[in-house]
Amino acid sequence: MARPLLELTGITKRYGDLLANDDVSLRVAPGEVVAMLGENGAGKSTLMKVVYGLVRPDAGTIAVDGTPLDIASPKDAMAAGIGMVTQEFSLVETMTVTDNIALSGVGLGRVDRAETRRRVVEAMERVGVTLDPDRLVGSLSIGERQRVEIVKALFHDCRVVILDEPTAVLTPQDVRALFETVRRLRTAGLGILLVSHKLREVAEISDRVVVLRRGRLVGERATATVRDEELAALMMGGSTDEVAATTASGDGEATELEAAVGMAGGPAPATRRPHPAAAAEPVLRLSGLTVSRGGRDVLRGIDLTVRGGEIVGLAGVSGNGQTELVEVLSATLPVTSGTLEVAGQDVTSAGVGERLAAGLGRLTEDRRGSVVPQMSVEYNLVLEDLPAYTRRGLLDRTAVRAHAEAMIERFDIRARPIDAVATLSGGNMQKVLLARALARRPRVLVVAQPTRGLDIGAYRYVHQQLDELRSEGAGVLLVSEDLDELRALSDRVVVLFGGEVVGELPVAEASPDRLGVLMAGGGSA
């Protein structure tokens, strides 16, 4: 390799007994894209945070261009030419694109507004990002916001860029635009470290792949020659043959490996077995549902029914009412007019407890808002079902612990029952929430982006669980920006645009093209 741009040597980070990073050494060359794979909780984010100065390692060194550095904060990292784009954006919605970039304060010194704007436009051109510099960030889509973060990260003289699961929140079009930017950066000689769960994307964009397992770097391969089986084996810890054996399946369903490659687990639409939903009772019915927020109708006259035994997919470009729909169902946003029924019971003005009792289960996009972060995994798991774990007014600790152990085993949650949820990796926190929602066997489950940030095994497992719930006769409303996921799991797909239902397609007809047209507001189906 040419002289490495970034060189990590022996990075070790311990949290109590847990070795989140165990003697990790890694090099990134100029003009190289290195992808990092690993199961949920493998230590990927921890390593990225160490490089960006957000976490102090217990041991190890970081060198940029051959110079060893002491990186104690993101400011130090930026000064050393390292930029990072995380999954959680830190933008001010009421400010323009230019002002948000200027706010980071790096690389500008004392220059006036016009000069700042000029430099922002120049930076955007350099990385191939097209955005109106004067638009308010609040009016931008998720993909556009990420572009602002990228320009922000690259605004100073940045030579190494860290992208931590950058595609998790993006639409396919946004992923294409992001990869275009990554290619430009590579051509310009930057080094790029990209964390991902999606083998298909890793294969498309990276030059080299490294795999972390339980804190250790267990493999390093050239992307062009590595086989997916080998990567899956490295991630999961078996031999290639073992992984191939456990993932082989002759029943026409996607194998774990196929899921790994495309992250499109679950039965392909054409091979799904028929369901009895046409005859089944509605478990969720929205009639003329209108919701206003900030004086604006964010949902207008929604009529939507989910029957027992079916999965209804809800597609739409982010910002068209999906988030609000899930919030309304979860009782965090009130209904303005219309009605809402769960399993035949009118719950239009009911609180969350009453809705849960009626048979609703839900998983919202706001993971952190759905847990009590300082409380343990075991208490968060029973939080919505306390009466079932209470004996004579006292919490039955033995039962709570037993339940947690069962859920940890079943969902492969990498944590102990007593760990505070705040310390869990993103994927493991998601697993806790899913376990909580699924354990209650709801009559209807409303899930938003259920597999976002999950590793291959968990992705597949969640799809199986949703399918199983459907087979048991429950209904599922699946809100997802992942069209592969919607098409793999749904019986029919409903499209929201501008707060209204603009179309509905049986899954066999829900091609990406047709969905794309509806999602862009182009006519009704």
Site for ligand ATP in 505-524 (CB under 6 A): none
Q: Is 15 one of the binding residues for ligand ATP (CB under 6 A)?
A: yes
User: CA 46, CA 52: separation in Å to the nearest integer?
Assistant: 10
Residue from 9, 18, 126, 156 that binds ligand ATP (CB under 6 A)? Answer: 18
Q: Which long-range contacts (CB under 8 A, 24 or more apart) does 70-79 make?
A: 77/51, 77/52, 77/53, 78/106, 78/156, 78/158
As measured in angstroms, the least distance from the Cβ of 187 to ligand ATP is 28
Nearest distance in Å: CB 41, ligand ATP: 4
Q: Report the residue number, 212 or 304, with the smaller CB distance to ligand ATP.
A: 212
> Out of 424, 447, 479, 483, which residue is the one contacting ligand ATP (CB under 6 A)?
424
Contact with ligand ATP (CB under 6 A) among 20, 129, 257, 462: 20
Window 360 to 419, contacts with ligand ATP (CB under 6 A): 414-415
Tell me the C-alpha distance between 297 and 331, whole Å. 17
At residue 213, what are phi and psi to the nearest 5 degrees?
Answer: -140, 125
DSSP state of 251: S
Q: Which of residues 442-481 bind ligand ATP (CB under 6 A)?
A: 453, 455
The region of 90-98, 392-400, 425-433, 510-518 touching ligand ATP under the rule CB under 6 A is: 425-433
What is the identity of the amino acid at 414? Answer: R
Sign of the torsion formed by the C-alpha atoms of 54, 59, 65 and 70:
positive
- Taking CB under 6 A as the binding criterion, the range among 44-52, 57-65, 258-266, 389-397 that sits at the site for ligand ATP is 44-52
Contacts of 169 (CB under 8 A, 6+ apart): 87, 142, 143, 146, 318, 452, 481
Q: Which stretch binds ligand ATP (CB under 6 A): 35-43, 108-116, 234-242, 345-353?
A: 35-43
Does the protein bind ligand ATP through residue 426 (CB under 6 A)? Answer: yes
Q: Is 431 in the site for ligand ATP (CB under 6 A)?
A: no
If one asks whether residue 124 binds ligand ATP (CB under 6 A), the answer comes out as no
- Whose Cβ is closer to ligand ATP: residue 18's or residue 103's? 18
The site that binds ligand ATP (CB under 6 A) totals a number of residues, namely 21
- End-to-end alpha-carbon separation of the chain, Å? 54
The residue range among 37-45, 293-301, 338-346, 434-442 that interacts with ligand ATP, by the rule CB under 6 A, is 37-45
Which of 336, 323, 329 is closest to 291 using CA atoms?
336
Q: Name the residue type at position 217.
A: L
Stretch near ligand ATP under the rule CB under 6 A, chosen from 33-41, 171-179, 285-293, 305-313 = 33-41
Q: Are strands 191-195 and 160-164 parallel, antiparallel or unpaired?
A: parallel
Q: Which of 44, 443, 470, 487 binds ligand ATP (CB under 6 A)?
A: 44
- In the list 4, 30, 43, 265, the residue contacting ligand ATP (rule: CB under 6 A) is 43
- Residue of 4, 30, 38, 316 that binds ligand ATP (CB under 6 A): 38
- Asked if 460 and 467 count as a contact pair (C-beta separation under 8 A), the reply is no
Name the minimum Å distance from CB 127 to ligand ATP.
25
How far is it, in rounded angstroms, from Cα 431 to Cα 70?
A: 35
- Rounded to whole angstroms, the Cα distance separating 488 from 465 reads 13
Judged by CB under 6 A, the residue of 427, 442, 457, 503 near ligand ATP is 427
Contacting ligand ATP (CB under 6 A), which of 96, 428, 465, 490?
Answer: 428
For residues 229 and 240, the answer to whether their CB atoms sit within 8 Å is yes
Q: Which one of 13-21, 330-338, 462-470, 476-484 is the stretch in contact with ligand ATP (CB under 6 A)?
A: 13-21
- Closest to 41 (Cα-Cα) out of 455, 365, 369, 486: 455
Q: Burial level of 67, CB count in 10 A (0-12/13-18/19+)? A: exposed
Which strands make up the sheet holding 360-363, listed edge to edge?
360-363, 444-448, 475-479, 311-315, 492-497, 500-506
Tokens of 337: 């007019």
C-alpha span between 150 and 129 (Å, rounded): 9
Nearer residue to ligand ATP within complex by CB, 39 or 149: 39
List interacting residues with ligand ATP (CB under 6 A). Answer: 15, 18, 20, 38, 40-46, 414-415, 423-428, 453, 455
